[in-house]
A = this chain, B = another copy of it.
Amino acid sequence: MGIQVYGFWRSIASFRVRVALKLKGLPFEEIPIDILSGEQFEPGYAAVNAERVVPTFIHDGHSVYQSLAIIEYLDDIHPTPRLIPEDVKERAYARSLALMTIADAHPLVTPRVRNHLAEAFGADAKAIEAWGRHWTTEGLATYERLLARRAPAPFALGAEPGIADICIAGQVVTAQYLKLGLDAFPAVAVLAGRCFEMPAFATSHPFEQPGFKTASAPH
């Protein structure tokens, strides 16, 4: 049955899973769920994912939810190359870095949050964009401070990219959505540049997905 991922071209959590699968060389089928139009709330997908979010990872009929849990699961079932280091302290550092965007920066800028800002506070597009820029900048600044303490060599934890790099690259994609420059975050910019030189990252970029190309085609 192989691997299926319910995802969306624009979803940063879907991007993380896409990169992880490609770094490991695991073939998968991505089934698009349009979270901008609210397809995740329709009964069909609600039966797949009780939280009504993407991504959902399905492996031989077994479902895993949440990008970090999915990537940990991939490391468990297919440990080469490892995306989370084996050394206990390094594992902890990698997960700490990953969670700074997964648990703090990124949750604040998802479509459901942007929509609710409009509903609850009457926020207009400009105010919602400013909100996104605020939290995305906070996340970038945290990463810049940490990468300055321990210089990437050449990736966040060493010679090969892993969960931390995937998460930082996703934070940079969010910055691209918001047209935020990275001049104030040079270590982040260098690290993301190295990531996107690799096909696993480059071909996983939201703007390289079929859904983006359809969405941005002339009508």
> How far does the alpha carbon of A22 sit from the alpha carbon of B53 in the complex, in Å?
33
> How far does the alpha carbon of A121 sit from the alpha carbon of B146 in the complex, in Å?
31
Q: Which residues of B contact A93 (CB under 8 A)?
A: 64
Q: Which residues of B contact A120 (CB under 8 A)?
A: 123, 127, 130-131, 134
On whether the beta carbons of B134 and A65 are closer than 8 Å, the reply is no
On whether the beta carbons of B51 and A69 are closer than 8 Å, the reply is no
On whether the beta carbons of B68 and A99 are closer than 8 Å, the reply is yes
40-88 of chain A: CB within 8 A of chain B: 50-53, 62, 64-66, 68-70, 72-73, 76-77, 88
Q: Does A194 contact B (CB under 8 A)?
A: no
On whether the beta carbons of B73 and A88 are closer than 8 Å, the reply is yes
Cβ-closest chain B residue relative to A122: B121
Q: Does A107 contact B (CB under 8 A)?
A: yes
Q: Which of A62, A88, A95 has the most CB of B within 10 A?
A: A95
Quick one: which of B95, B113, B149 contacts A108, CB cutoff 8 A?
B113
Quick one: which of B69, B106, B127, B145 contacts A95, CB cutoff 8 A?
B69
Q: Does A114 contact B (CB under 8 A)?
A: no
> How far does the alpha carbon of A72 sit from the alpha carbon of B98 in the complex, in Å?
13
Q: Does A160 contact B (CB under 8 A)?
A: no
On whether the beta carbons of B103 and A66 are closer than 8 Å, the reply is yes
On whether the beta carbons of B53 and A104 are closer than 8 Å, the reply is yes
CB-based closest 7 A-B pairs: A69-B95, A66-B99, A121-B121, A107-B107, A50-B145, A65-B96, A73-B92
